[in-house]
Amino acid sequence: MIERAWETRIEPLTVRVMTAARITGLSRSRIYELIQSGDLETTKVGRATLVQYRSLKLLTGNGPSSADTPG
C-alpha cells in the first residue's frame, strides 16, 4: 500500500476522555478537573464528552508556540 505524505499528518479533531487520559498520562479524574476549570476545551455530542485535540496539545506544551503563529 502506498502511503501519502498528507495521510501521515492527520490528527484527530477530538478524542474521548479515556483517550485523552491515555495519551497525556493523566487520570480520567484529572482530565475532568481540567475540563471543569476550563483548561481543556470540550464538545458534547449526545452523552459523549469529546476533548479538543488542540487543547490537549496546548496543555502538554506540544501545540504551536507564539513564534509559530502568524500575526
CA dist 32 → 13, 38, 47, 57, 70 (Å)? 18, 10, 15, 16, 32
Cell numbers for 9: 499528518
* Domains of the chain and any CATH numbers: 11-59 (1.10.10.10)
The pLDDT value given to residue 18: 97
Entry pTM = 0.74
The pLDDT value given to residue 67: 52
> Measured over all CA atoms, what is the biggest interatomic distance in the chain, rounded to whole angstroms?
44
Better pLDDT: 3 or 24: 24
Could you report the per-residue pLDDT of 45-67, keeping only the tens digit for each? 999 999 999 999 999 888 776 55
Could you report the per-residue pLDDT of 18-32, keeping only the tens digit for each? 999 999 999 999 999
Q: Is 8 a residue whose pLDDT tops 60?
A: yes
